Amino acid sequence: MSAPEAQAETQTAPGGDAEGSTERRLNMIEAINEALDVTMARDPDIVIMGEDVGYFGGVFRCTAGLQEKYGRTRVFDTPISECGIIAAAVGMGAYGLRPVPEIQFADYIYPGLDQLISEAARLRYRSAAEYIAPITVRTPFGGGIFGGQTHSQSPEAIFAHVSGLKTVIPSTPYDAKGLLIAAIEDNDPVIFFEPKRIYNGPFNGYYDKPAQPWKKHAASIVPEGHYTIPLGKARIVTEGEALTVLAYGTMVHVAEEVCRQKGVDAEILDLRTLVPLDIEAIEASVRKTGRCMIVHEATRTAGFGAELSALVTERCFYHLEAPVLRVTGFDTPYPHSLEWAYFPGPVRIGEAIDKILSE
């Protein structure tokens, strides 16, 4: 049992298709660590690589204990070269391994874009499926730690634009484990964004302290053993009739808290994966409510919310009772001291809710 697992709280689990008979309450770091542990135990071709992921266990401790358990040939540190990390992973994948490289912060991923876009995303097509790139690139993204411009970016829209890449963003420990296992077992390259702001617990958007520690959160109950969550399936967080809210990652919790505080009968969809996107679930919800609000932390212009707005308008135009609204980060470099003003929070989300419900 790895170090994060040892701190887990155990209880008897209800029946399910997961291996094992108990469930534990884990935070997202622990759930990710366990997903890596489970997959490595099942498949000797899985290797973990990245800056400080080995001996130190990762800057956020997501890989703690794995090098000690599986050895230095399967969990190893790399030079500080994101381009080299991704390039090596693509080659490993083409020759039969399933590498899981970690990019220490999403802000550092840009030197590896050429390898991800020109090589990993296109290898299957370029080789007529003779070669594949079954790599899962894990990286923390978004704000919440006062990291400023170089440790807080949300570049998910860049990767969602690239054909051949899958883009996954969990919002709970349960989803983090199930989605990460599914991503690692997928034969196509996956970018797995981990919202660092909720690594240790969800935040309510009002303060920079946990509103509900994961120990009290239903989604922190994580089954032991192997289970997967299919990529491309959204989760209905709350059912409602007045408004559809589309969100992912940290913003799922912020939007949920604001709707709860305002007493809004909102149907909140956690997208989970941007590519593939569960457009059927989105369409069904918007057709029911007639209103749609999109919330994401990334900058507004050309953000993924623009794609969602276009899809909703194209598919649900005659069902809409008000224009689609987006509540996003600002089109500015990421601030340091004003980080919590940059986030879509209770004031801006609340004003958007009032506006869309009044139209």
The answer to whether residues 312 and 214 belong to one domain is no
Residue 204: CB partners within 8 Å, gap ≥ 6?
Answer: 211, 212, 253, 254, 257
Q: Does 43 reside within a domain?
A: yes
Q: How many domains does the chain have?
A: 2
Q: Does 228 reside within a domain?
A: no
Q: Does 8 reside within a domain?
A: no
Residue with structure tokens 């939007």? 255
Q: How many CA atoms lie within 13 A of 54 on its CB side?
A: 14
The answer to whether residues 51 and 83 belong to one domain is yes
Distance CA 14, CA 22 (A): 8
pLDDT in tens, 196-247: 999 988 764 444 454 556 667 778 899 999 999 999 999 999 999 999 999 9
pLDDT in tens, 290-342: 999 999 999 999 999 999 999 999 999 999 999 999 999 999 887 777 887 88
Distance CA 111, CA 132 (A): 22
The answer to whether residues 208 and 249 belong to one domain is no
The answer to whether residues 135 and 245 belong to one domain is no
The answer to whether residues 216 and 241 belong to one domain is no
Domain boundary among 160, 188, 223: 223
Among 34-48, 175-189, 219-233, 336-350, the least confident range: 336-350
Residue 111: CB partners within 8 Å, gap ≥ 6?
Answer: 81, 82, 83
Q: Which residues are catalytic?
A: 151
The answer to whether residues 247 and 304 belong to one domain is yes
Q: What pLDDT score does 351 carry?
A: 96
3-state class (DSSP) for residue 95: coil
Query: What does pLDDT average to over the chain?
Result: 90
The CATH number of residue 198's host domain is: 3.40.50.970
Residue 107: CB partners within 8 Å, gap ≥ 6?
Answer: 147, 149, 150, 151, 152, 153, 155
Structure tokens at 126: 């370029």
Structural domain boundaries, residue 159 = 18-223
Distance CA 196, CA 212 (A): 16
Domain boundary among 163, 190, 223: 223
The answer to whether residues 249 and 117 belong to one domain is no
The CATH number of residue 295's host domain is: 3.40.50.920
Q: Does 10 reside within a domain?
A: no
Q: Does 12 reside within a domain?
A: no
Q: Does 321 reside within a domain?
A: yes
3-state class (DSSP) for residue 101: strand
**Average pLDDT value for residue range 23-40:** 94
The answer to whether residues 110 and 182 belong to one domain is yes
Which phi-psi region, left, alpha or beta, contains residue 65 (left: φ > 0; alpha: ψ -120 to 50)?
Answer: left
The answer to whether residues 239 and 216 belong to one domain is no
Domain boundary among 193, 223, 253: 223
* Contact (Cβ atoms closer than 8 angstroms) between residue 228 and residue 204: no
In the predicted structure, residue 44 carries a pLDDT above the cut 90: yes
Q: Does 7 reside within a domain?
A: no
Distance CA 100, CA 114 (A): 18
Alpha-helical (H) ranges within the chain are: 3-6, 28-42, 66-70, 82-94, 113-114, 123-126, 156-160, 173-185, 250-262, 279-289, 304-316, 339-342, 346-358
Q: Does 4 reside within a domain?
A: no
The answer to whether residues 249 and 173 belong to one domain is no
The answer to whether residues 191 and 79 belong to one domain is yes
The answer to whether residues 172 and 33 belong to one domain is yes
